[in-house]
């Protein structure tokens, strides 16, 4: 099966090669215009930390945004900024706990509900948004941007680029043949690179090989991270225990780019797990909810849980209170990104950028 998929991927790349070459040419011209200052970049007037990637998604940006927030929280007012993928409109807005994901995006809403003291903003124009945040949040200590590495109009102070252990950019290709939306060489402009979703900490020799394959500069820090999952948590009653272990079952439904690690983890928690996959950022319709309710009633006997992610739960909204899912035991599994090698160096990188930024001198 694996070799058939490999040959299929190779054939796809050959067929789409002309389009990939054209896309690559457009990217090179665009970057050359910025590098030569024909197109202008605007430096952030507040400490701006970008958590970005080169691929289309699934690298774990949001858990690493949360990691940055956990590192800096308590040092002063913090803010986050993202486009708010899938929301209606693209103007600047500050997210509130009671907002609808359709209006502000699922990930920003999830962040606001987890970090209630952080100012969470959505806006397509990052340059204008940062200027507005500076006025709206006096003394803001730092703004963590989700997915702005390709936004060359903004010159952020600290760029952290992610790639996954399972599909690093050196094994990928540019769109449309692969999932890369930017040139692998652009990663050399990052201040640090993180290989995410690692099953373990690689040896020193393996880390060196990763550096060579990723084509990093000698002075670029390279970190490796993993996802650590929390215990399942009921969305109905925060004090209620979710049944796990022998004799239990979970119907996992996800609308995220890469559900593989979560699915593997869920199978270590529940005796039986069935997975229903939806596209990334999927909006769950009444028909989707009815389908999930039907499957839940019949997929297993004994103690059962309807399981999802925190991001997907933010998109469910009123469906948790009314409709086919209203009476079902729904739980979420949260995940935190953890740096496996030199976590103190990663923390120091963030803190040093904030502390030495001209805005705080």
User: Tell me: the pLDDT tens digits for 5-60?
Assistant: 566 667 778 889 999 999 999 999 999 999 999 999 999 999 999 999 999 988 99
| Residue 152 clears pLDDT 60, i.e. is over it | yes
- Residues 278, 194 share a domain: no
- Residues 278, 220 share a domain: no
> Looking at residue 288, which CATH number applies to its domain?
3.40.50
Determine the pLDDT at residue 239: 87
By residue range, what is the domain housing residue 193?
2-227+340-360
End-to-end CA gap in the chain: 58
Cα–Cα nearest to 78, from 140, 122, 146, 126: 140
- Residues 249, 163 share a domain: no
Determine the pLDDT at residue 1: 42
Q: d(Cα 22, Cα 175) in Å, to the nearest integer?
A: 10
- Residues 209, 254 share a domain: no
Dihedral of the alpha carbons of 147, 148, 150, 154, in degrees to the nearest 10 = 180
- Residues 34, 162 share a domain: yes
- Residues 294, 216 share a domain: no
Q: Can you tell me whether residue 121 is helix, strand or coil? A: strand
| Residue 70 clears pLDDT 60, i.e. is over it | yes
- b/e code 178-215 from CB counts within 10 Å (16+ = b): bbbbbbbebbeebbbbbbbbbeeebeeeeeeebeeebe
Q: Give the residue-averaged pLDDT of 90-117.
A: 94
Q: Give the residue-averaged pLDDT of 195-200.
A: 97
CB count within 10 Å of CB 56 equals: 14
Q: d(Cα 1, Cα 89) in Å, to the nearest integer?
A: 43
Determine the pLDDT at residue 282: 93
- Residues 353, 297 share a domain: no
- Residues 348, 316 share a domain: no
- pLDDT, tens digit, for every residue of 347-361? 999 999 999 998 887
- Residues 310, 181 share a domain: no
């Amino acid at each position: 099966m694996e070799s058939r998929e490999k040959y299929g991927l190779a054939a796809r790349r050959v067929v789409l090669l002309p389009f990939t070459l054209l896309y690559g040419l457009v990217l090179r011209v665009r970057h050359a215009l910025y590098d030569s200052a024909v197109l202008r970049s605007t430096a952030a007037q507040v400490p701006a930390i970008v958590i970005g990637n080169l691929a289309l998604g699934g690298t774990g940006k949001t858990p690493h945004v949360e990691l940055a927030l956990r590192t800096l929280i308590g040092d002063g007012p913090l803010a986050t900024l993202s486009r708010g993928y899938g929301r209606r409109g693209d103007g600047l807005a500050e997210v509130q706990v009671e907002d609808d994901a359709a209006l502000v995006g699922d990930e920003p809403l999830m962040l606001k509900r987890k970090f209630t003291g952080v100012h969470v903003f959505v806006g397509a124009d990052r340059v204008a948004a940062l200027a507005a945040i500076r006025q709206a949040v006096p003394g803001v200590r730092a703004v963590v941007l989700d997915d702005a590495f390709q936004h060359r109009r903004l010159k952020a102070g600290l760029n952290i680029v992610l790639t996954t252990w399972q599909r690093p950019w050196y094994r990928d290709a540019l769109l449309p043949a692969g999932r890369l939306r930017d040139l692998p060489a652009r990663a050399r402009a990052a201040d640090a690179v993180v290989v995410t979703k690692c099953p373990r900490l690689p040896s020193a020799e393996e880390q060196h090989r990763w550096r060579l394959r990723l084509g990093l500069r000698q002075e670029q820090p390279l970190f490796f991270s993993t996802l650590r999952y929390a215990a399942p948590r009921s969305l109905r009653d925060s004090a209620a225990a979710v049944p796990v272990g022998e004799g239990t079952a979970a119907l996992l439904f996800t609308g995220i780019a890469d559900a593989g690690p979560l699915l593997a983890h869920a199978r270590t928690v529940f005796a039986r797990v069935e997975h229903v996959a939806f596209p990334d950022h999927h909006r769950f319709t009444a028909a989707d909810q009815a389908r999930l309710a039907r499957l839940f009633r019949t997929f297993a006997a004994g103690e059962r849980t309807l399981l999802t992610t925190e991001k997907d739960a933010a998109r469910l909204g009123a469906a948790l209170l009314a409709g086919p899912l209203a009476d079902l035991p729904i739980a979420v599994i949260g995940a935190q990104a953890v740096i496996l090698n030199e976590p103190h160096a990663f923390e120091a990188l963030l803190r040093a950028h904030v502390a030495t930024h001209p805005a705080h001198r």
